[in-house]
Structure 1
Amino acid sequence: MGGNFGPTEQLLWPISVFSGIIMCKIVYEITGQISLSCFKGYNKLTKSQKIEWNNRGFSTFHSIVAAAVSFYLLVLSDTFKDENPGGLVVNRKSILSDAMFGISLGYFLTDMAMILWLFPSLGGKEYILHHGISMYSILMSLISGQAHIYILMVLFSEITTPFVNLRWYLDIAGQKSSTLYIYNGVAMFVGWLVARIILFIYFFTHLYLHFDQVKTIFPLGYYSLLIGPCMLAVLNVVWFKKILRGMIKTISRKRHEQ
């Protein structure tokens, strides 16, 4: 570990982390400006609600960027394909994956700072645990240059964030009884099932099938790769149960109203 810090990385990593932080700041401000002009109820929100409203704006933006980059690298490019003669899949990386990890670190640092600053209004202990594991895993992979494929799989699961945030927006806007709220709830359930349950099953299957390569990862990274995703998987299952209960409750209430 540590041999991955060449001239390119010395420039790319700080710039990408800083870019992630600046991205959060810019999108935070833009979200506030757009909401002020497009949503009449924005001005009626409390100060803490406005902060969370804008915070969810940049978390949505990051999730879309992270999911798009992860999808490209994992599915569309040849970087991590087994037939690619580029050495062990656990040792493969690219400038794009390095940059994305840096941007994500910047995002998680910004979001964590806001969560701790306003604790617990932006999220409870489970959010701190989620962000802590995410930052630790990304940093280890970035520094070592190993296991990029697995970090990208986990980053792709951020694709569920827009549905979670839209649910909160609709709730705050008093639209819990709207058709959009129900459709979004179903989409959130399906998205979570695919990106945070089925994808994690694929993650562990891939890990098992490539375990001879996984064992070549430096010791701390090896054990972190075995433990960290398991903790995230448990969180995903806990949240999935809550989403399922919420969806059933909302659909049942809608039927009774009809």
Structure 2
Amino acid sequence: MARSLKTYAAFKSYQNQAEVLVRNYVLGGPYIQYTSVLGGLLVFKMVYDLTQLIGSSYFQSYNGLPKIKRMDWNNRGISTLHAVFISFFSVYFVFCSELFADTNSHGIITLRYSALTTFVLGTSVGYFIADLGMICWLYPSLGGVEYVIHHSLSGIAVAYSIYMGEGQLYTFMSLISEATTPMINLRWYLDVAGLKKSIAYLINGVLIFVGWLVARILLFAYMSYHVYLHRAQVMKMRPFGIVLVLCVPVALAVMNVVWFGKILKGLKKTLAKRKS
């Protein structure tokens, strides 16, 4: 009994120390912007290695791929994890949290932020740095100039929002579009596995179409409307922040529309093949 109590006390002591560490250093003070970015880089490096291990151990198609394709496989594991993580928190902060709600009277909506929102966005900056580095290192094998532009604009906008504490609401709105990434990656995995003619590939294509329409077309239209309604508060931001809020979503929206046209064309082609 005494030993159990001693073990419990030791556990509580470590737990309290961990809570203090997280509160004071990870989610507190001037360290949060740096610890979150660094933490994001480290986590995504671990996921890259884990994806490589799983792929080589459990998927025969992985070992038969050329080196560049295996690296692409691993990199898509990182992007899938980031997409699930950031889209979940983005939906929560935009539609569920009281922090950015119009009913919340605590300060201008474009200047609101919290330790948690800053930490979440910081991990996203870590991802964009890691992924952009991979794209540039292996250019153009993992993506062309459009991917470099997309990641550069996204990384700059997210980094600005965490270091200046401005426009975090619109940053999260933009990042909801990452919800389509897992479906895009799954399509690539199905293609590599030789399942282009499977029903799963067709269903995935339909889901990409619907998800892209909602998360990357309609949502960006809603964000533009939201910016218009809150234009007076947007103008309270620093000049560079105003430029980011007004220009970056437009640039991303143009790319999303172009990609959406390609998705629609590909879906029509796939459906036509299955009918014939």
What does residue 202 of structure 2 align with?
Answer: 182
* Structure 1 residue 9: Cα displacement: 4.6
Distance in 2 between residues matched to 1:67 and 1:9, nearest whole Å: 26
Matching of residues 194-209 of structure 1 within 5 Å: 194-209=214-229
What does residue 246 of structure 2 align with?
Answer: 226
| CA contact 2:33–2:163 (8 Å) conserved in 1 | no
* Structure 1 residue 36: Cα displacement: 2.1
What runs of 5+ residues in structure 1 fail to find an aligned partner? 1-6
1:170 correspondence with 2:190: yes
1:23 correspondence with 2:43: yes
Matching of residues 81-230 of structure 1 within 5 Å: 81-230=101-250
| CA contact 2:184–2:208 (8 Å) conserved in 1 | yes
| Pairing partner for 2:267 from 241, 247, 250 | 247
CA RMSD of the aligned region, Å? 1.1
Q: For residues 130-153 of structure 1, what are the alpha-carbon distances to aligned partners after superposition, in whole Å with 9 as ceiling and x for unaligned?
A: 001001111111121111000000
Name the larger-Rg structure.
2
Q: Which amino acid aligns with 1:185?
A: G
Q: State the aligned residue count.
A: 250
| CA contact 2:132–2:148 (8 Å) conserved in 1 | yes
| Pairing partner for 2:75 from 26, 42, 55 | 55
Where 1:80 maps in the other structure, the secondary structure is coil
Distance in 2 between residues matched to 1:236 and 1:125, nearest whole Å: 14
Distance in 1 between residues matched to 2:90 and 2:118, nearest whole Å: 11
What does residue 3 of structure 1 align with?
Answer: none
* Structure 1 residue 35: Cα displacement: 1.8
| CA contact 2:110–2:167 (8 Å) conserved in 1 | yes
Say which structure, 1 or 2, has more relative contact order (CA 8 Å, 6+ apart): 1
Distance in 1 between residues matched to 2:232 and 2:31, nearest whole Å: 33
Distance in 2 between residues matched to 1:146 and 1:42, nearest whole Å: 43
**Percentage of matched positions with identical amino acids:** 45
What runs of 5+ residues in structure 2 fail to find an aligned partner? 1-26
Distance in 2 between residues matched to 1:15 and 1:154, nearest whole Å: 23
Distance in 1 between residues matched to 2:96 and 2:107, nearest whole Å: 19
After alignment, is 187-196 or 87-96 more displaced? Answer: 87-96
Report the TM-score when normalising by structure 1: 0.95
Distance in 2 between residues matched to 1:190 and 1:80, nearest whole Å: 27
Instruction: Give the 4+ runs in structure 1 shifted more than 6 A.
Output: none
Report the TM-score when normalising by structure 2: 0.89
Where 2:28 maps in the other structure, the secondary structure is helix
Q: Which amino acid aligns with 1:116?
A: C
What does residue 86 of structure 2 align with?
Answer: 66
Q: Which amino acid aligns with 1:189?
A: F
Distance in 2 between residues matched to 1:28 and 1:242, nearest whole Å: 29
* Structure 1 residue 38: Cα displacement: 2.4
Distance in 1 between residues matched to 2:274 and 2:58, nearest whole Å: 28
Distance in 2 between residues matched to 1:143 and 1:228, nearest whole Å: 17
What does residue 4 of structure 1 align with?
Answer: none
Q: Which amino acid aligns with 1:60?
A: T
Where 1:101 maps in the other structure, the secondary structure is helix
Q: Which amino acid aligns with 1:43?
A: N
Distance in 2 between residues matched to 1:9 and 1:138, nearest whole Å: 19
